[in-house]
Structure 1
Amino acid sequence: MEYDYVVVGAGSAGCVLANRLSADPGVSVALVEAGGRDDKLEIRMPAGFAKLFKTGYDWNYTTAKQPEMSGRELYWPRGRVLGGSSSLNAQMWVRGCQHDYDQWQIPGWSYEEVLPYFTRAEHRVGSNRGGVYGEDGPLYVSELRSPNVTTKAFLQACEELGFTRLAELNGRSNEGYSPTPVNQNRGRRWSAADAYLRPVMKRPNLTVITGATVARVVFDGRRAVGVEHDGGAQVRARKEVILSAGTIGSPYLLMRSGVGAADELRDAGIAVVHELPEVGKNLQDHLSSGVFVECKEPVTLSRAESLSNLLRYIVLRSGMLTTNVGEAVAFIRTSQDEPAPDIELIFAPGPFVNHGLTPPTGHGMTVGVILLQPDSRGRVGLNGRDVLIDPGYLSREADVKRLVAGLKTAKRVFATAAMRPYAGGPMAPYQAPESDDELAQWVRERGETLYHPVGTCRMGTDEGSVVDPALRVRGLEGLRVVDASVMPTLNRGHTHAPAIMIGEKAADLIANP
């Protein structure tokens, strides 16, 4: 089993690479995925994503105990299936803003230079004011087919608070509010596998290997020559091995393969192939808190799973089961000192508690509050030979202050005249904390991931970075990392869009060195 390129991980970036690299009939590509096929109804049905958590479609990670989060171990779902996390996510297509990419200060990766790769990917359905979106790409970007009546009230509440209505969310600035653009095609999820992989599965030069958990990269000296998966089977690479296993999987594979901080590798009994101390460091994630209130009217998603709604979805591809849950967003600055939004508000017309794993006890609404630019940093490391995830949440006090300010704004949303017909009292587990200390404690006791880890294989021009601007692993040959782990800092948006962009740009870098 030998190919020109071996791509590890069929997530957002991996699916892009499989498509774009195999477009050249003169090269052969193997895509190796630990999970299986993506043919489950809950993957196709937008509202069903929480049903996939803690199942065989999920890596089901747990963090180390977080000292600043009341000592809790937090659940981190990640997709273990064709499409990766794009088969489990809330389908939100949110690029971020111009400042996100310019702040990287890496040649070739400024906003102007990455913008064509966003638009290359996009297939905008519906309005495209100002030509913000691409219209000929493989990845559908649409509006929700059946937004909830309370979502309209949230948008009116944002207007009442003086926020800016965005003509299109994904322009140069995202400061303001908007309905959420979603990766859906006629009311069904449109994952990276749908967009990039499924249309090319029959190419003779593309081989997709599922159910194969890669254990390590195989080296000949300092050159990567393949990967080893279950039972010692190898898939060999004539040209390159490309890790697209994600912010957890890619650094973990590097370390399992002898690439990382030498002392940590030796402590785990792993022979050092190449010392690269920054592997696994610089971990960042969007931490989420929120305000939950009861809804006075029985119109929310709390009864979305009725037989009538299921039939409406199956027959018409409309109704409550087409929701992505996060139906509208607002990006705000909690201080004029911020160069761009530092908090995102996400409106859910239902009580999204405990990742949606806790069934609703009644009708309710959520305004999620997301910290967009954390000062805190964590790491992905080794616990013996197992993976260790330590996001280091709230290790910087500035992160707490921003989240508290965001929660105060979320409370103001529910106090507007626009929300008055719907917003009732606090809904458990939310108990309406008031003071800054009470709000901070609410974050510590109930905050969760928004599923956006990045940074553990940091790209840079400095010698300390894990990959160079062409995404080649420093000090080694024939090995790249192509996924969200290469992002030096988080975007003020969601990470599926930049992961797709990174895959698109990497395909060009590989094909045109």
Structure 2
Amino acid sequence: MALWWWRLFFAALPGILFSTQLCASQKVPNYTFMHNATTAPNISYYDYIVIGGGTAGCPLAATLSQNYSVLLLERGGSPYGNPNITNLAAFGAALSDTSPTSPSQRFISEDGVINSRARVLGGGSCLNAGFYTRASPQYAREAGWDVRAVNESYEWVEKIVAFKPEVKQWQSAVREGLLEIGVVPDNGFTYDHIGGTKVGGTIFDHQGFRHTAADLLQYANPSRITLLLHSTVHRILFRVKDGSKPVAHGVVFRDSLGRKHKAYLKQHAKSEIIVSAGALGSPQLLMLSGVGPAEHLRAHNISITLDQPLVGQGMSDNPMNAIFVPSPEPVEVSLIQVVGITSFGTYVEAASGENFAGGSPRDYGMFSPKIGQLSTVPPKQRTPEALAKAIEQMQSLDQAAFRGGFILEKIMGPISTGHLELRTRDPNDNPSVTFNYFKDPQDLERCVQGLSTVEKVIESKAFAPFRYPNMPLPVLLNMTASSPVNLLPKHTNSSLSLQQFCRDTVMTIWHYHGGCQVGKVVDKDYKVLGVGALRVIDGSTFNYSPGTNPQATVMMLGRYMGVKILSERLGANAADQTEQ
């Protein structure tokens, strides 16, 4: 597409260039277009229907609304006014909430690792650890994206949600330790994905308030967008004429009272339904709508719209392994701020403070069994009983036991993949998902190399003030597994035992992706192969997780594709007018 269309579009958007960021007194935007789905008409019509008001769906819908009518359907509620979402100090509280109305819906993969999916406007950006970093230019090139438009889309996002963190002593020690052991160069503060050690961005502002993809709806044209909360889409409706390919033309959704509503596309060749329901929700909804492996769909008595065996395939989750380091000195409360991007495909990050060890509040830490991060037992043994026992033990520990922090590693990619299948025909139920952690030997080798890097950071001179001199690394690695704090099984520091350590202590860092991948389920423009008027735009399309942490790229993708869709449509309209 010609660059002049990009420039024309950017110049035409009213109010698009403002750079106001939310401050403490502006935490709750006045979205006049946000309503409970119970108020929705039985039947309505729009130019675009976006399914999922998450990390991609919000920027996508906001962009499309600049020129066309948009319906944004979000199965969860609003993040605004919920301190468990908005306040950094309460990180993990939403993840630990397992009630039916929680903004976080827990699921357990067939691998046994406990995980969560978002159920709230803003998606995973309302629940995560806040790290903001771009994908590499190579990733963008391989995806076939226009690099200039990608950068403009990142900048559009960053005006609202990204901040420079205040790096204090413990995070600084991790950074200096990484540099000391050779994870160089020192790239300072940057959003860019560059090999070496850097300080990345954060979506928490300097007052500790979280800013999410929902905030990007400030860019929306309020007269052209309708946002319905607590609206669960049950299926996409297709039309088939004269043996031609199925064309999406509407959706069926239910409100919180169970009442059924239908929304249809306006009669225009360029109108589309766009699924942005996440790496679990998007393949699940395609299957529920009859697009998926025919034999599997028949087993659930679902009428076949299109036999597409690759829907639900290619599921991956970046495995995380962490070491807890008790500190003789008090440490600040910090989430992910520093990252070491190694040359061998491992990323090293850190979090500190009692909050994130599960100490204060004890149940809500980033590595707390209350949110399912239980690595004291292998994945298949992480039963409800094991979780309950770990939580009980944690409550009995002295507060000093939680003083310290975690240094973690996660592997690039990963290469290992799995699959997703339906359990039921209810879209509110979790599908069955298998990630096959460390199935590929290269993933396991990267984990071992990553743990070796973490060990070197812990032993570095720069990190010495934050470790006990009488607790050398072998002691840390051989702490008994009875304590829910140390997260370490018994083993010796050999290559083989580190491999077992990787398998036994694997946790999620909530970066799962796949299921509707480019080149398999959707084309390079994210149009679903084999059907018309339907796209998928979210992390389910990724073959690999972008950068060290994906949320910035998922938000960017929503904006990027929104601009591209509008540019193409405006270009087609201009061409039609010229011909006339």
Flag whether TM exceeds 0.5 (same fold): yes
Q: Distance in 1 between matches of 2:331 and 2:556?
A: 37
1:33 has 2:74 as partner: yes
1:224 has 2:270 as partner: no
Contact kept? 1:218, 1:228, Cα under 8 Å? yes
Give the aligned residue type for 2:367: V
Q: TM-score, structure 1 length as denominator?
A: 0.83
Q: Counterpart of 2:131? A: 92
Of 269, 273, 282, the match for 2:301: 269
Q: Counterpart of 1:80? A: 119
Q: Distance in 1 between matches of 2:202 and 2:170?
A: 18
Q: Distance in 2 between matches of 1:458 and 1:35?
A: 25
Q: Counterpart of 2:191? A: 170
CA displacement, residues 78-100 of structure 1 (integer Å, 9 cap, x when unaligned):
22111011111111112232232
- In the TM superposition, residue 23 of structure 1 has moved relative to its aligned partner by 1.2
Q: Distance in 2 between matches of 1:258 and 1:483?
A: 20
Within a 5 Å distance, the mapping from 1:340-351 to structure 2 comes to: 342-350=345-353, 351=357
1:430 has 2:430 as partner: no
Unaligned segments of structure 1, at least 5 residues: 67-72, 124-138, 302-322, 335-341
CA displacement, residues 425-461 of structure 1 (integer Å, 9 cap, x when unaligned):
336222574112222222212211111112211112x
Q: Distance in 2 between matches of 1:265 and 1:431?
A: 42
Of 233, 237, 262, the match for 2:261: 233
Q: Counterpart of 1:63? A: 109
Within a 5 Å distance, the mapping from 1:247-286 to structure 2 comes to: 247-286=279-318
Of 404, 408, 412, the match for 1:368: 408
Contact kept? 1:283, 1:379, Cα under 8 Å? yes
| Paired-residue identity, % | 28
CA displacement, residues 29-85 of structure 1 (integer Å, 9 cap, x when unaligned):
110000001120121112323100143101212211x2xxxxxx2222122111011
Q: Distance in 2 between matches of 1:504 and 1:280?
A: 25
Q: Counterpart of 1:381? A: 421
Contact kept? 1:332, 1:343, Cα under 8 Å? yes
Report which stretch shifted further, 42-51 or 400-409: 42-51
Aligned positions, number: 449
Give the aligned residue type for 2:347: E
Q: Distance in 2 between matches of 1:13 and 1:504?
A: 8
Q: Counterpart of 1:314? A: none
CA displacement, residues 201-256 of structure 1 (integer Å, 9 cap, x when unaligned):
x7122111001111111112211111111243212222211100011100100000
Q: Counterpart of 2:513? A: 454
Q: Counterpart of 1:133? A: none
After TM superposition, where is structure 1 displaced by more than 6 Å over at least 4 residues in a row? none
Q: Secondary structure at the match of 2:324?
A: strand
Q: What RMSD over aligned residues (CA atoms) do the two structures have, in Å?
A: 2.0
Of 53, 57, 77, the match for 2:95: 53
Give the aligned residue type for 2:533: G
Q: Distance in 2 between matches of 1:329 and 1:167?
A: 11
Q: Distance in 1 between matches of 2:61 and 2:280?
A: 20
- In the TM superposition, residue 169 of structure 1 has moved relative to its aligned partner by 3.4
Q: Counterpart of 2:151? A: 115
Q: Counterpart of 1:299? A: 331
Q: Counterpart of 1:393? A: 437
Q: Distance in 1 between matches of 2:528 and 2:322?
A: 39
Q: Counterpart of 2:526? A: 471
Q: Distance in 2 between matches of 1:429 and 1:508?
A: 45
Q: Counterpart of 1:332? A: 342
Give the aligned residue type for 1:447: V
Q: Distance in 1 between matches of 2:189 and 2:337?
A: 15
Q: Counterpart of 2:575? A: none
CA displacement, residues 147-201 of structure 1 (integer Å, 9 cap, x when unaligned):
3421111111122112221134333x5211122310133431110111x11454x
CA displacement, residues 302-347 of structure 1 (integer Å, 9 cap, x when unaligned):
xxxxxxxxxxxxxxxxxxxxx4x1131111123xxxxxxx100011
Q: Secondary structure at the match of 1:299?
A: coil
Give the direction of change, closer, same or farther, for the CA distance of 1:445–1:420 in structure 2 (3 Å limit): same
- In the TM superposition, residue 407 of structure 1 has moved relative to its aligned partner by 0.3
Contact kept? 1:343, 1:369, Cα under 8 Å? yes
Contact kept? 1:267, 1:384, Cα under 8 Å? no
Give the aligned residue type for 2:306: H
Q: TM-score, structure 2 length as denominator?
A: 0.74
Q: Secondary structure at the match of 1:178?
A: strand
Give the direction of change, closer, same or farther, for the CA distance of 1:19–1:206 in structure 2 (3 Å limit): same
Q: Secondary structure at the match of 1:502?
A: helix
Contact kept? 1:484, 1:502, Cα under 8 Å? no
Q: Distance in 1 between matches of 2:89 and 2:250?
A: 39
Q: Counterpart of 2:233? A: 214
- In the TM superposition, residue 399 of structure 1 has moved relative to its aligned partner by 1.0
Contact kept? 1:484, 1:498, Cα under 8 Å? no
